[in-house]
Amino acid sequence: MINQSQQEVLLSRNHFPEIHSIFNLLKILAMRIRLFYFAFIVFIPFFSCRSKPQDNKIPPGDQQAQINEIKRLENLRLKAGISKDVNAFDSMTAGDYLQIDMDGNVLTRQDAMKRIASSYAQLQSNEVEDMKVRIFGNIAILSGLGHPKGLMKGEEFTDAIRYTRVYAYLNDKWQVVHFQQTRFNPNK
């Protein structure tokens, strides 16, 4: 067994100069990697969160007017879901839209539009209760309890759905940027 002082002698410059220079190189490399990660963690979020100036506009009207507008858009969106109006969805949905469905699947805007146009879900009605809207500058968060009825994957569907939809005021209009839904059983 080699003790600490023997290791130092073996690794000294006089005995193995190439090992000493490799250790110095590894120390420098490790320091540069830590510096890179530090810069990445500190500065990248700062630059990635900066929006274009036109995307930071605050919507017109007082907060109650904005809440009423979000509720109006939500009701239009619910009706578009029943009629499978892809054009209505398209006009209300941001380009970087993201959806998490009841089964935990993540859908992009393109995936969601394909699903709406398909026979995956055929809604006959979709009543919503407990709809709440909160406004944070140019972001609105809507939550509700939906009672959709119809066919899902060819089978009758009547499960209640708790959902959250996030609207952002972009390019002078409210657009949906995120949607999350979860099955809800009120008897549990």
How high is the pLDDT of residue 44? Answer: 47
CB-count exposure of residue 143 (10 Å: 0-12, 13-18, 19+)? middle
How high is the pLDDT of residue 29? Answer: 62
Q: How far apart are CA 12 and CA 126, in angstroms?
A: 77
117 Cβ contact list (under 8 Å, min separation 6): 84, 86
Contact 167, 174 (CB under 8 A): yes
Residue 166 is encoded by which pair of tokens? 């996030």
Residue 165 is encoded by which pair of tokens? 């939809």
Q: How many CB atoms lie within 10 A of CB 82?
A: 15
| Residue spans per domain, the chain | 4-48, 57-184
H/E stretch holding 173: strand 173-184
Quick check: pTM over 0.85?
Answer: no
Tell the CATH topology of 57-184: Nuclear Transport Factor 2; Chain: A, (3.10.450)
Q: How far apart are CA 116 and CA 120, in angstroms?
A: 7
Contact 75, 59 (CB under 8 A): no
How high is the pLDDT of residue 5? Answer: 64
Per-residue pLDDT of the chain (188 residues; tens, 9 = 90+): 666 665 565 555 555 555 556 666 667 766 666 655 444 454 444 444 444 444 567 787 889 999 999 999 999 999 998 899 999 999 999 999 999 998 899 999 999 999 888 888 888 888 899 999 999 999 999 999 999 888 888 889 888 999 999 999 999 999 999 999 998 887 76
